[in-house]
Structure 1
Amino acid sequence: PVEPEAHQTLITYVYSESYESMQNLMFFLEHGLHAKADFVFIFNGETNHTQLIPNKPNIKIVQRDNSCYDLGAHGEVLTKDDLWLKYKKFIMMNASVRGPFIPHWAEACWSDRLLSKITTDVKLVGISINCWPTPHVQSMVWATDRMGMSLLLQPPKSSPRHDGWMEVLFAHPAQFPRPDDYKTADPSWVEVGLNKCFANRQQAVEAEVAATGIMFGAAKKVDVMLMKFQTDPDYNAHCSRMGAWDPQGNGAYDGINIHPFETMFIKTNRGIDPRALALHTGWMDRSSFTSYDYC
């Protein structure tokens, strides 16, 4: 049979086995799938939950070893046979978040809402930003276009070397030991993108943080769904006032919690208002909301 023509948007979803991840995957399959994008579900490591994925022309499954961490898995799948070159827009996400949560009045397509924030200047969009060790878009949900993806997969040498925030990481040697071959102000340095298999958590964290720097180095901008960050377009100035601030925690959002309707996706492994998460999950499930109706 003839392969159906690819959509303009590719959504890659990385899954690693756990009960919580399985719950998040099931929620996404129920409420996030639609017919206006191509989906690739990447299963890292052993699992029997591939059987949950619907057999549809725009949905594919990749099973691989549990290596390279989530960002490395995205990169491997996107670069194999130059898959990414077939698409114009991208969403990369993982099973650490539950969503989409869409209010009844919105009648919105979650992927359109993310991708609509991509502009001539803005090339990386997420749901929230973390100020530690330096301002960066958190990687559980990323949206970009072909230009942004090319920067992530092939970081330009013009990207700034962030020795400052690397030193912040190295100040916690138990988690982030200084590599033996690390050189400060190394002129040959190229910022880490999605173009390698990350051997450990430290490398994966560096890649997550570096992605925002890659955009800044290319004179591009980033954006996030959090309303708080719309009050101050200067992320660096904002974070200099906030210090080592991560909004993805219980009570960490100026004393309150991120609401599912604000970001559409919520991290479920940070203890953020478990009762609200359970209630909104149940309400979405019983409402029979499906993105097939809105995308």
Structure 2
Amino acid sequence: MYDWNAEPIRKSIRLWLEEDIGGGDITTMTTIPEDQQARGIIHVKEEGIIAGLPVAAAVFAEIDAALHFEPKVIDGTSVKKGDILAIVEGSTRSILLGERLALNLMQRLSGIATRTREYVEALEGLPTRLVDTRKTTPGHRMLEKYAVRVGGGHNHRFGLYDAVMIKDNHIKGAGGITQAIKAARAQIPHTMKIEVEVESFEQLEQALAAGPDIIMLDNMKPPAMKEAVLIIKAKSPHIVVEGSGSVTLQSIKSMAESGIDVISVGRLTYSVTSLDISLDLNERKEASK
């Protein structure tokens, strides 16, 4: 669980608000009376999986602590067109100041959760774990990886700092798979895992001889992937096998049926269509005199 009121999140929200508001919302300040009160209805305009309600609440709280934000569903809820997601009440000016950022975040995160759920459903009945990648929006990684979990997926590493992941350019720079794994193993803590990416059976044999913890089969067709899994499990059954590379909803099931343990999908975060969510002012209330 995230602490949505933690300072790192609040700092990000302040930066995002500053980007949007700058010196002030000219339109709202010149058209809306300062003491006017309103009720904002946040609703969804298409089917999907909702994510981001807590961060939307944090946005409005940062704008105006007196605003009352009441969620009507929880993150992870499957919704249909017209469903009310939340109600925010208080100063009309404050509601309008936070509206766009709150909606932008909810739309993006709900789009990620919705796509993730589609991939999870495509894997139904299979033991393969669906994970995300580092292909996230700069500054939004924590939120986007949260949305993946809301959709039923799992997280890969969060950054370059929490696991060794040896890819093609590392292999070239180190002089080979064996050299790369050996150098990494000699310098990292015993608690840290090493993953290596392979693209051929020749590289697979080199990786197995060097002893990584995880082998990623990159851009292999399902028949070749199945053969590779059999080789890995016969020689080193403790090694986790990951599949990756241009994974689609149409291809993910056949990949999983090869026997791999994990499938990483960049599409969960990098090319997502945001869910259509709106806020409408309703039952406007004038401030008491």
Q: TM-score range by the shorter chain?
A: under 0.3
Flag the structure with larger Rg. 2
Query: TM-score when scaled to structure 1?
Result: 0.27
Instruction: Give me the TM-score of the superposition, normalised by structure 2.
Output: 0.27
Please identify which structure carries the higher helix content: 2
